[in-house]
Chains A and B, each alone.
Chain A
Amino acid sequence: MMAMLSVILGDAGPMQRLWFRDHGSSTYAAETDHMYMFLLWLSVACFVGLMAAMVYFVIKYRWRKGQPIIRSAGHNTPMEVTWTVLPTILLVVIFFKGFWVYAKQQVAPAGALQLTLTAKKWSWDIQYPNGSGSTETTKIGAVDIPVFIVPEDTPVEIRMTSEDVIHSFWVPDFRMKQDVFPNRFTKYWFQSVKLKATDNDNPALGYPNREHWLFCAEYCGDNHSEMAGLVRVVPREQFAAWMREPFPGAMPMVEVGKILYSTKGCNGCHTTNGDDNTGPTWKDLYGSTAEYQDGSSWVLDDNAIREAIYNPGAKVRIGRENRMPTYQGSINSKQLMAIIAFMKSISENAPASAGDELWGSLDAQGNPVEAPATGDAPDGGQTPEQTPQDQPADQPAGHPADGGGEG
């Protein structure tokens, strides 16, 4: 009996299907759904109890002709204390349950595949480490929307910023959303669940896949409802293969950043080899801790770099004076992301990215390649123009940028 009830009412039963389109396609979705179903049944129990009492009283104590008014208590302290304390305890439990799930959801596991996203009215643009963006579109209503390909069962972290107003990145099937701001970076991470052989949202592909809507959830004007995308989860080897064939002309983010380092004049004051100059060296800078003259300190993350480039005088490090002009207006958000990618690539303090593994060191079948950059990986079909990743000289071995260019 209890078993049957738990099947019907449980997280994956028909009641769950009534509320959600799927079972949740990210690793943390199951916990969100569990939390929701817990709250749902708690609420249903409270509501039915209250309404049953109300309807019963209205019928039982309806006014009848000649009936005297019944004298009754104006209050009842033990009862009132009970119905104050019980909900309080319940609410504390709910808060902590919700908090633990949330806390787990907020921390991306180490080694996530790093993607960057720029949002603007009314489109999403995801950039992959190889410099490619979306290479495919599909239709929603009256507009074409991009398809974004992500690997199954791999943590993916997206650094996001907006070029105009506030947007919000929401993939309902992942049960997570995050606002995207014009003046800072925010992060969204997810890890899709493993694909089953029966997952085949797009049969034309010929391999298992799941497709998930991506919506803008913060009102942004005329075509807010058309600001969508499709996130397609594919097997890791398919993703690796796709990544090795970047969009024609695409240049890896790190490469773009390296070029900008020179063309924007960063190299005038910042070195990449560890030597000090007018400004601090970029070697091992990302992820290190900066001490400022105002007494504060900041582990140099995306937002810290952004602040230093756009608003250099705001925080000056101890032992330095600010000699840097603002680059607001001359370095746009995509260029900024590329520069950050370059800085990360030359810093021991930056977290490792799953891109290394997925893109550089897997062959088309998804098997690990023993020795990277030996040139014998079976990745035939690539032309030298499409793989400009083999130039960087001052990058640590094994970085994504020198992985794909075995040819």
Chain B
Amino acid sequence: MSHEAAHDAHHHEGSYLTRTGSFWTTVIQWGFTKDHKKLGVMYLTAVLILFFVGGMAALMVRAELWSPVRQITTTSVNDAGETVTTTEIKGQMFNFPKAGETATSLNTGNETYNRIFTLHGAVMVFMVIIPSIPAALGNFFLPIMLGAKDVAFPRLNLLSWWIYVFGSIFAIASVIAGGVDTGWTFYTPYSTTTDADHWRVVFMIMGAFILGFSSILTGLNFIVTVHKLRAPGMGWFDMPLFVWAIYATAIIQVLATPVIGVTLLLLVLERLFHIGIFDPRLGGDPVLFQHFFWFYSHPVVYVMILPGMGIVSELLAVHAHKRIFGYKAIAFASLGIAGVSFIVWGHHLFAAESELAATVFSALTFLVAIPTAIKVFNWIATLYKGSIVLNTPMFYALAFLFLFSIGGLTGLPLATLATDMHLHDSYFVVAHFHYVMMGGTIIAFVGGIFHWWPKMFGRLYNERWALTGAVLVFIGFNVTFFTQFFLGTQGMPRRYASYVDEFLTLHRISTVGSWILALGFFIEAAVLIYSLVAGRKAPPNPWGGLTLEWEVESPPIEHNFHHEPLIKHGPYDYDDVVPPHWDPKDYPLPEPLPTGARH
């Protein structure tokens, strides 16, 4: 390629993926690497494996809800001529009576179900969504987008990774020991009294506690990196919006995570040593736990969604080849959301707290809607007069706008006191946060993976199959979760292993949707794995992006840049700059930008 010829011969170093020794040498090199890219790839692998685990749990939850639990009573006459009445529990997925016996107890199946939905929630929140974008894609791309060789504290970054592994081991040990049935929110006094003599609940809580440290240290690292390691000439407003989003996220992580750390520690103290903090029988107050928990966990909702918003800003600008509309508004909206996120936790307690508190928190909650709405308007305005290529990453970005808008708008009846009194803790809430967490964050994450895959691994993927999978994910998602809005308004409560007959049809539609969704994700996984094995080699800049990661090799060299990059244009100056190193032959599908084409 022409741009490579411009470089000196000694710059032909291997990529960060180049193996330099035997298999075990390579394993050790990766295990103790300080390279942000390798750490990013390891996070990505771990997150995707755990996403598979959490997804399987979700499919089991949906399978249990295929039919309600029933008690079947049958009368028969035995050999002795006596009339025998037997009752049997039907409709439970996870009730496995011994051979030759019938299921008679409801609790076994229900308890297993409760453990599975807790597994789903805890894995998806603590081990998938929170680290997904910042730790995996953020680690890989934040330094490159800033023109840096690495993050500010590479050794700390390695430590964060091992803390993440360590915390996950605790959580997984707890699951192997039978799992916990507390729900991912660990509400007291249930969580301090259930499974009273078993260590697994403590292990799950300790797992979440340890994962918090990983989150704090990563956040700290990113904040310093953004402040200190921007390339010469890169001002704050020359940073890509993905960096802005990760920056806002990191602030929340550093400020809010210690609170959950302390809360979980108190929970463990109460369980192990019966120090009365939350359990009323020990003189504690269970609502105090909810305040502590949501003081962290609400800001964390924005730890989850802000990076997704950052990715969407990138995807829309690059694949529409268009200057992002309202750059500063989007950047400040990220910070605004981060700020407001700290004062709205009380809306999780509308059915628990005093009327005055509920009123104040309702009012504050509406504040979040304003910067969020501004972002959506800006993204759609970005499409105006663009040169839009509807490929897989772009499809995910548009799907994000569709799903996240629904997620955001259905937040209105939940923030409104009168309607929330009905919808609180119902399936409406389940649908709402899946539209935000999954339709928002996970869809953006997967879109980001397809967007940056050629850069990370130097391979292209099959566009046709990738798009097919994406469409299935989109359809499956809506079938699964839109149904649940109706379930919620009609009166279906959350976390139910069974339900009254009138909800049967809607539950079945939702379950069928989960199968379509799973099929879509399996196709996407196959597309990506196939690309690693047999994908065509990717050029440095397959999409014609203007941010710095598209100026480095695919995959990047160990130190990212041959020379310290000089910032000559903004990240989205599509109407001023021809994308550098751009060769239309590199990527035949879709049709690329002609060189020199501009107004």
Name A's B-contacting residues (CB within 8 A): 18-21, 31-32, 35-36, 39-40, 42-43, 46-47, 50-51, 53-54, 57-58, 61-63, 65-75, 79-80, 83-84, 87-88, 91-92, 94-95, 97-99, 101-103, 105-106, 139-143, 164-166, 168, 170, 172-173, 175-179, 181-183, 213, 215-226, 228
Contacts and interface: CB of A to CB of B under 8 A. Distances in A.
A139 B68 CA distance: 13
Return the 8 tightest CB-CB contacts between A and B, nearest first: A172-B491, A183-B280, A98-B416, A142-B71, A102-B417, A101-B418, A225-B496, A57-B383
Contact of B114 (A91, A97, A178, A221): A221
Interface residues of B, number: 98
Nearest to A74: B323
A99 B360 CA distance: 10
Interface in B324-364: 324-329, 351-352, 355, 358-359, 362-363
A50 B490 contact: no
Contacts of B25: none
A66 B598 CA distance: 10
Nearest to A176: B421
B379 to A, nearest CB: 9
B421 A177 contact: yes
Contact of A75 (B69, B327, B415, B416): B327
B62 to A, nearest CB: 15
B380 A57 contact: yes
A36 B70 contact: no
Contacts of A43: 409-410, 412
Given A39-B412, A43-B412, A61-B384, A141 B498 contact: yes
18 contacts: A21-B491, A36-B419, A42-B412, A50-B401, A54-B402, A57-B388, A61-B320, A63-B591, A98-B415, A99-B363, A99-B417, A102-B417, A175-B421, A183-B280, A221-B181, A223-B106, A223-B110, A225-B497
Interface in B475-501: 486, 489-491, 493-500
A79 B280 CA distance: 54
A47 B405 contact: yes
Contacts of B422: 32, 36, 172, 175-177
Contacts of B352: 166, 179, 181
B566 interface: no
Interface stretch (B186-194, B211-219, B463-471): B186-194
A173 B156 CA distance: 54
A69 B106 contact: no
Contact of A54 (B89, B324, B374, B383): B383
Contacts of B322: 69, 72
Contacts of B530: none
Contact of A106 (B71, B91, B194, B355): B355
A406 to B, nearest CB: 41
Given A46-B409, A71-B598, A222-B107, 15 more contacts: A39-B412, A62-B389, A69-B574, A70-B385, A71-B599, A95-B416, A101-B418, A103-B359, A141-B70, A142-B70, A164-B193, A181-B287, A215-B491, A217-B493, A221-B114
A54 B398 contact: yes
Contacts of B280: 181-183
Interface stretch (B74-82, B250-258, B302-310, B365-373): B365-373
Contacts of A75: 325-329
Contacts of B385: 61, 70, 72
B418 A105 contact: yes
B417 A98 contact: yes
B390 A58 contact: yes
Contacts of B380: 50, 53-54, 57
Nearest to A219: B495
B387 interface: yes
B229 interface: no
B441 interface: no
B238 interface: no
Given A21-B491, A165-B189, A98 B418 contact: yes
Contacts of B535: none
Contact of A32 (B89, B183, B327, B418): B418
Nearest to B280: A183
B106 A165 contact: no
Contacts of A168: 351, 424-425
Nearest to B570: A74
B406 interface: yes
Contact of B384 (A66, A72, A224): A72
Contacts of A73: 325
Given A19-B486, A39-B413, A58-B388, A63 B421 contact: no
A228 B24 CA distance: 58
B490 A68 contact: no
A166 B286 contact: yes
A143 B497 CA distance: 13
A94 B416 contact: yes
Contacts of B97: none
B271 interface: no
A20 B366 contact: no
Contact of B321 (A31, A69, A80, A95): A69
Contact of A58 (B70, B398, B489): B398
B594 interface: yes
A202 B381 CA distance: 56
B424 A177 contact: yes
Contacts of B383: 53-54, 57-58, 61
Contacts of B281: 182
B506 to A, nearest CB: 11
Nearest to B395: A58
Contacts of B381: 79
B176 interface: no
Contacts of A36: 413, 419, 422, 489
Contacts of A213: 491, 500
A42 B373 CA distance: 14
A403 B590 CA distance: 85
Task: Select the residue from B325, B358, B390, B416 with max chain A CB neighbours within 10 A.
Answer: B416
B597 interface: yes
Nearest to A45: B409
B116 to A, nearest CB: 13
B430 interface: no
B364 to A, nearest CB: 10
A261 to B, nearest CB: 25
B154 interface: no
Contacts of B598: 68-69, 71
Contacts of A67: 387, 597
B586 interface: no
B386 interface: yes
B110 A222 contact: yes
